[in-house]
Copies of this chain bind each other. A is one copy, B any other.
Amino acid sequence: MSFTLPPFKVVDTAASLVNPYVHRTPVVTSTALNAKAETSIFFKCENFQKMGAFKMRGAIHAILQLSEAEKQAGVVTHSSGNFAQALSLAARNLGVPAYIVMPENAPTVKKEAVKGYGGIITICKSTLAAREEAAVKIQDETGATFVHPSNDLNVILGQGTAAVELLQDHPNLDVILTPIGGGGLIAGTALAAHYLGKNCTTIGSEPITADDAYRSLKSGTIQTNDEVNTIADGLRTQLGDQNFPIIKQLVSEIIRVEESEIIEATRLIWERMKIIVEPSSAVPYAALLAKKGRFRDKKVGIIISGGNVDLQNLPF
């Protein structure tokens, strides 16, 4: 089956559309982290993005595609993570109602965050079937448009705008690394690198305990995770049929890392860069450490995907 990549124009347009609604996050470097990984890294800090993660970009871009009538009816998603907050805040900023289906066991702090951003929460049982059923019911009742956190081309294009900005600031990157959860970030990033980079490749990184993307890329068909037991809680989700064809065509490699490597990379970023990143966001740097020296003399971009960590128990 042949697949045609989304054209340059939509990648380029996404960046202009999203721009007024997001922070242009800084790109930072660290001598200490470069030395440890024996390469030269440019961190695109989406942990400083609105609501603390790149997901704001995809949510904004998806809502901007809707007609006025669709906007009035609202958007709906099911998520217990960052996308619930992203869709709520993006919708509020665009004057659109956002219906969020959350499992009953979602942490109170996440429910409060969604409420704080104006999301209208529906609680359901914590199975995928129950979530999907609740979302369909809301669609039927309100006419709201369903927005998937990662398996939606407009979300993918929105997520790619972080890499567009990174390449505008640093056009000569040789490679960009991202974590892989649902696959939206890496698919969008790969499109940006393909069209805007100068021979810039895209490499994924994944916990070895949730390596569905690694196995999918190897086998050529979407694989699933049996169990997902990783500290990188943003990466427990699955690839989908909208992002996998892009990943298959444009992502050259996926590097897998151990849990201990993720923890070590997170600690190093916190300690040396003095920034708060989610464990999921440390996976690309963990991959560089695992392949130390392989990227010597390369310019490496990393998308720091987010900084939403539960800080109830501060380490002091």
A positions within 8 Å CB-CB of B: 26, 47-48, 52, 231, 263, 266-267, 270-271, 273-277, 279, 307, 309-316
Contacts and interface: CB of A to CB of B under 8 A. Distances in A.
- What's the dominant secondary structure at chain A's contact region? loop
A49 to B, nearest CB: 9
Copies assembled: 2
A180 to B, nearest CB: 20
B26 A267 contact: no
Given A274-B275, A309-B316, A310-B315, 16 more contacts: A47-B274, A48-B273, A48-B274, A52-B274, A231-B316, A263-B314, A266-B314, A270-B276, A270-B314, A275-B275, A275-B276, A276-B276, A309-B315, A313-B315, A314-B315, A315-B315
B274 A274 contact: no
A312 B270 CA distance: 11
Nearest to A316: B309
Contacts of A314: 263, 266-267, 270, 315
Nearest to A276: B274
Contacts of A275: 274-276
